[in-house]
Amino acid sequence: MVQRFSRVAGTGSCLPGPPITNDDLVARGIDTSDAWITERTGIRARHLADAGQTASALAEPAARVAMAAAGVGPDDVDLVIVATSTPDFVFPSTACLLQARLGVRGGAAFDVQAVCSGFVYALATADLFVRTGQARCALVVGTEVFSRILDWKDRATCVLFGDGAGAVVLVADERPGILASALHADGSQAGILCVPGAIAGGGVIGDPFLRMDGQAVFKFAVRVLDEVAREVVAKAGIDIAAVDWLIPHQANLRILNAAARKLGLPAERVGVTVDRHGNTSAASVPLALDAMIRDGRIRAGHRVLLEAVGGGFTWGAILLEA
């Protein structure tokens, strides 16, 4: 029997509104500066959704572009997985809302909640569905409106994040696309990055805003990104030097650079969009992947290592051949 793999057939993005620069944030009254944000994070701009733009509203155009690039229509898609921590509603899932927006019928649709690792979790899950024959054509989307859960009075966090969506169509193929993946979590670290609130009795119980111990997150992220990258290339039986492109979760340029340095990969082989997008959580990896495919840097046959780390704590990596 021919072995069945999954392969990325198309990608797409959606970024709401114009870029909001660091100086724009200062003009909006946030007690910060372009120099502070750029020096500590590498972030120069981000996009912010309007009040009416939901996670599914950003996901829809990203998904349509990915489907067009893959040459598939709504009738072909038999699995929709959405990674988000900022869903439209408590329920139904954003994946079900996206399925309806796209006119996709049948097949499974569900959300994955792994915060900034969400897209890597979702893509690894879709790969299993495709490889085991439970789906032939999966739509995997990371979409976030993180601006909704930011405390705009907390300058240490509100300057770091942005909104957006990135989508991938994953299809069954005899040639390998996804070569290996690894996912991990450590719930004992939940407190260093969280939104510790819940809806109950018609209101919010606890705190509805993102809280973060920045230095603890920094150290944790650099360590686990290194470990999981090595784990996944070892699983695939290749050397780290054979990776053409590293696309880490776009949290912060210093985390990206530290991760690449530890792996011995030169900065020229690292995908960076955090300067333009800020940290878009589950959308960051597919946004960067789409940008690099569209500008021609990632070409057929290139080996691309996606990796992410986020609240939970969760982390994971995927090695794929474009």
Whole-angstrom distance, CA of residue 309 vs CA of residue 228:
10
Cβ nearer to ligand ACO, comparing 37 with 124: 37
Burial of 117 (0-12, 13-18, 19+ CB in 10 A): buried
Binds ligand ACO by CB under 6 A, chosen from 79, 82, 160, 259: 160
Roughly how many angstroms between the first and final C-alpha of the chain, as a whole number? 24
Whole-angstrom distance, CA of residue 77 vs CA of residue 171:
9
Q: Does 143 bind ligand ACO (CB under 6 A)?
A: no
Structure-token match 């969760």, residue found: 314
Q: Which stretch binds ligand ACO (CB under 6 A): 9-17, 30-38, 74-82, 270-278?
A: 30-38
Task: Give catalytic status of residue 249 as yes or no.
Answer: yes
- Binding mask 90-129 toward ligand ACO (x if CB under 6 A, else -) reads --------------------------x-------------
Binds ligand ACO by CB under 6 A, chosen from 65, 72, 193, 260: 193
**C-alpha gyration radius of the chain:** 18
DSSP-assigned letters across all residues of 247-288: EE--S-HHHHHHHHHHHT--GGGB---HHHH-B-GGGHHHHH
Name the residue among 245, 132, 128 with its Cα closest to residue 183: 128
Q: Does 166 bind ligand ACO (CB under 6 A)?
A: no
Distance in Å, CB of 25 to ligand ACO, minimum: 8
Residue 246 phi, psi (nearest 5): -105, 125
Is beta strand 79-83 parallel, antiparallel or unpaired with respect to 137-145? parallel
Binds ligand ACO by CB under 6 A, chosen from 36, 39, 89, 205: 36
Q: Does 22 bind ligand ACO (CB under 6 A)?
A: no
Q: Does 217 bind ligand ACO (CB under 6 A)?
A: yes
Binds ligand ACO by CB under 6 A, chosen from 309, 317, 318, 322: 309
Window 248 to 267, contacts with ligand ACO (CB under 6 A): 249, 251-252, 254-255
What single letter denotes the amino acid at residue 31?
D
Q: Which among 47, 249, 252, 277 is annotated as catalytic? A: 249
**Site of interaction with ligand ACO (CB under 6 A):** 32, 36-37, 40-41, 116, 155-156, 159-160, 193, 212, 214-215, 217-218, 221, 249, 251-252, 254-255, 279, 309-310
Q: Which residues are catalytic, by number?
A: 116, 249, 279
